Homo-oligomer: A and B are copies of this chain.
Amino acid sequence: MFTTHPFQAGSDPDKFHEECGVFGVFGTEDAAAFTALGLHALQHRGQEAAGIVSYDGKRFHPHRAMGLVGDIFGDRDVIDRLPGDSAIGHNRYSTTGETVLRNVQPLYAGYGFGGLALAHNGNLTNARQLRRELVQAGSLFQSTMDTEVIQHLIATSREARLLDRVIEALRAVDGAYSLVALSRRKLIGARDPLGVRPLVLGQIGDAWVLASESCALDIIGADFVRDIEPGEIIVIDDEGVHSHKPALPTRKRFCIFEYIYFARPDSNVDGRNVYEARKAIGAEMAREAPVDADLVIPVPDSGVPAAIGYAAEAGIPFELGLIRNHYVGRTFIEPTDEIRHLGVRLKHNANRGQLDGKRVILVDDSIVRGTTSKKIVEMVRNAGATEVHVRISSPPTKSPCFYGIDTPEASELLAANHDVDGIRRLIGADSLAYVSMDGLYRAMGETAGRNNDAPQYCDACFSGEYPIALTDMNDTDNTSQMSLLAELA
């Protein structure tokens, strides 16, 4: 989206952050309740805001608000105000900047042919260029979201049928996206031609479900049917599911970081169980970078599966040596110096009873800026650990993402500016190892490792190889003011 500067840090400055989750359902009187549950299961993909639009055969009904899904949609009254047999929903990731209700999805527009609600996960890389062209031709924008570009493209299309307008609009845009849309008669799902972002199809009774991850099917008891394919447009109506593939087939480049960190461990995305993938990376690390130690401890919670995989492969006990405080909430946003200094302890505490006098292998999924890693290593040492060996279940993150993930710019990425031993010194570890690129691909079942001529995944954040054109990158025209969103912050 335009609103999310790709280099802006989010809530945990030492992690990459997913930007948004989507959900849609067609054909059940519990459409809004199911969508609320699905968004709750996808809460890890965006915690800033959430929205649902339902359609009851006569009108579209929306509810969008800042906050967590449970807080927004947990009240029966809210669900009752979202009647109808179909609905789509969206979780928005918390970014700084224009975080305003008007930017909360799903977006809606009334067209000559009727209304259409639209929500997407991802980022368009030529949205700014398209927007400028549309404005020149007389379109008025109300948000700063790239999603709105798609709406105007649909509005100004000369095609008669909605599907043809959508196809024409998606042909015009570049980028990584999984989108869901709801018209008066159809639920539409689409994935970009490379399939960078995930989208799955499920079924419960006679109803069909679209969701970013399979964990959103589990929560409502829906069965997983299949992944939407790269470049596929799914149209669901009273007659069932129709698949359209208007683009030429290209080789899939699914985001490998979904397996490392973004997706929930109990999800299956793009044909693979995330927990198993993480355990496999841990085992791969145990083989690539073994070390003699007393304990394997994860940085909770994201490091747990890889740590279990490492411990099992290495035959070293797995222990919870770091305890996470789950009550952090939206908390301590303007901390005192005292609190800032104590920093990481707001979220974690080292259990001296476990760690005193021990040689420790500390497993985490990634190092972004390194500030948190440094504090955790220090905390583990202060709790009495005699050695601290850090193992990271991803290759070094050297390049920012422009496909829907919130990452710092290269200058702030530790691995873009230091080699592994330099990083080891900075975080104060006795040893440091990242899983290798080939090791990562092997853990994904690619026994021959990465195919450098035609990589099986999008791994731009490690390799710097961007599979989709970055048109807006070179666009420096920031002068036009599209909206007054700032007032609503």
C-alpha spacing A115/B479, complex, angstroms: 10
Say whether, besides A33-B336, A108-B483, A331-B68, A138 and B156 are in contact (CB < 8 Å).
Answer: yes
Instruction: Fill in one digit per residue for A326-338: 1 if any B CB lies within 8 Å of its CB, else 0.
Output: 1111111111101
A137-163 CB contact bits vs B (8 Å, 1 = yes)?
011111000000001100111000000
Chain A residues numbered 267-288 whose CB sits less than 8 Å from any CB in chain B: 268, 273, 275-276
* A181 on the B face (CB < 8 A): no
Residue of B nearest to A218 (CB): B349
Judged by a CB distance under 8 angstroms, whether A37 is at the interface is yes
Residues of B within 8 A of A66 (CB): none
Could you say which of A72-80, A232-240, A407-415 contacts chain B? A72-80
Task: Indicate how many identical chains form the complex.
Answer: 4
Is A480 interfacial (CB 8 A cutoff)? yes
> Which residues of A does B touch, CB under 8 Å?
30, 33-34, 36-37, 40-41, 43-44, 47, 53, 59-64, 68-71, 73-77, 79-80, 101-102, 108-112, 114-115, 135-136, 138-142, 151-152, 155-157, 215, 218-221, 264-266, 268, 273, 275-276, 301, 304-305, 308, 312, 317-320, 323, 325-336, 338-339, 342, 345-346, 349-354, 480-484, 486-488
In the complex, are the beta carbons of A140 and B136 less than 8 A apart? no
* Cα A101 to Cα B328 with chains together (Å): 22
18 A-B residue pairings within 8 Å (CB atoms): A34-B338, A37-B346, A41-B325, A59-B481, A61-B487, A63-B487, A69-B327, A70-B329, A73-B332, A110-B135, A110-B140, A139-B139, A215-B323, A221-B342, A264-B349, A275-B323, A275-B351, A312-B317
Q: Summarize A's interface: helix, strand, loop or mixed.
A: mixed
Contacts of A63 in B (CB 8 A): 487
Q: How far is the CA of A64 from the CA of B80 in the complex (A)?
A: 30
Write the chain B residue with the least CB distance to A107.
Answer: B484
- Does B41 lie within 8 Å of A349, measured CB to CB? yes
A487 touches B37 (CB 8 A): no
* Interface contact A60-B481, CB-CB below 8 Å: yes
Inter-subunit contact A136/B112 (CB<8 Å):
yes
Contact assessment for B353 and A268 in the assembled complex, using a CB-CB cutoff below 8 Å: yes
Provide the residues of chain B in CB contact with A481, threshold 8 Å. Answer: 59-60, 110, 114-115
Q: How far is the CA of A331 from the CA of B68 in the complex (A)?
A: 8
Please tell me which one of the listed residues B62, B135, B218, B333 contacts residue A484 in the complex, with CB atoms under 8 A apart. B62
Chain B positions within 8 Å of A109 at CB level: 140-141
